[in-house]
Amino acid sequence: MNLKKVFYLGGMAIILFLLLISQTLTQARGSFDLASYLPIVLEGSSSTPGPTAEPSPTPTQPAQPSGPKIAYKRGAKGLGTNQLYIMDPDGGNPSFVQDGVDTNHRWSPDGSTFAYQAGVTVGSETHYEIYTVKWDGADPHRLTGLAGEDENPHWSPDSSKIVCDHDVFGDHEIHVVSVDGSGEVSITDNAVNDYNPVWSPDGSKIVFECLRGGDRDICLINPDGSGEVNLTPNPTDDRLPQWSPDGSQILYKTSGEVYVMDADGSNPANLNDVEPDAGYGLWSPDGSRIVFEKNVGFAHNEIFVMNADGSGLQQLTHAEALNKEPSWSPDGSQVAFSSNRDGNWEIYVINVDGSGLQNLTNTPAYDEKSPLWWGP
């Protein structure tokens, strides 16, 4: 064996030996599974999580409910209702939103926020101001300034502003204010009264009741206060305008009966001679029907529906009691309402064909009123 061959074989042996060591070490490292026992080590420990622990997500409340909800007011029986609650449409998961909600709670179109009226005492006088609160009860605050009384809040369709009726010493004007409380402006400025404003579905107009010539008319105005027109310059009282969902028509009351006209004031038509009570006449979400409550006897109101042209009048509820404040489900298949038929106020739902009556609240110790349905 020559020297060259010895070196060659020796070199090969060393290389093989090094390869063997390297593989053994790799297998040994691979069998050391950190993840397999770290959870046991970390369980119940307040030490810093190891490399396999997931960072815990920051809990954030969604900007609006994930599904349809019914908002309502709840109070001690016989003492009025001033707590705002929301619940599922089957009555499940009732949850408190805000205290001191006197009236006119209105859900923003995007579902994020309620506007409502609450009494404020300044000196010896108590008057209404407009407040907002997030749907989950967060961030309640007063929106309108303390001077003058503010009532009847209605949302702009983009949920950024509120229009309301502002009263200083009996002269009502229409005010617009941003939802952050900034930029409150009067869009009417006259010595006669202006009430009950409602924003159009496309955001371009505001309809309201205007006292002109000694009786109430229906007026339109641009949200910046320009372009005011009187749609019903007649000697009878025209009241409580509501937009059709597509903005092409306006529902209102004349001499107590329901009328519909085109949004430019043309083609006013009386719908079926019906006389709703309490100003409730509401278009279904698709605009095909109108629901309203009607007084039919002493302490006896029932809920009715009819087609948007006045045909097909149908009585939905049949209880010798007060059945009030109807509110459409987002899909138009049901109506929620309040009733005192069991001796205290409860929230009910009924299918639009009159079937499927359900009491959603069932709480004799409390009065539940003023249902307001919202859906994404």
Binding site for Ca ion (CB under 5 A): 144, 148, 150, 171, 173, 190, 194, 215, 217, 232, 234, 238, 344, 346, 363, 366, 368
Whichever of 211 and 313 has its CB closer to Ca ion, that residue is 211
Q: Per-residue b/e over 72-99, b at no fewer than 16 CB within 10 Å? A: bbbbeeeeebbbbbbbebebeebeebbe
Distance CA 362, CA 91 (A): 9
Whichever of 209 and 293 has its CB closer to Ca ion, that residue is 209
Whichever of 110 and 228 has its CB closer to Ca ion, that residue is 228
**Distance in Å, CB of 325 to Ca ion, minimum:** 14
β-sheet bridge partners, residue 74: 83, 368
Q: What is the amino acid identity at position 91?
A: G
**Distance in Å, CB of 63 to Ca ion, minimum:** 28
Whichever of 254 and 284 has its CB closer to Ca ion, that residue is 254
| Whole-Å CA distances, 291 to 68, 250, 303, 349 | 20, 15, 7, 13
Whichever of 118 and 133 has its CB closer to Ca ion, that residue is 118
- Is residue 59 classed exposed, middle or buried when 0-12, 13-18 and 19+ CB atoms within 10 A define those classes? exposed
Structural tokens at position 209: 């009741």
**Distance in Å, CB of 319 to Ca ion, minimum:** 15
| Whole-Å CA distances, 182 to 111, 114, 122, 177 | 21, 17, 22, 6
Distance CA 100, CA 216 (A): 32
**Distance in Å, CB of 345 to Ca ion, minimum:** 5
**Distance in Å, CB of 119 to Ca ion, minimum:** 12
**Distance in Å, CB of 367 to Ca ion, minimum:** 5
CA atoms within 13 A on the CB side of 45: 11
Distance CA 127, CA 144 (A): 12
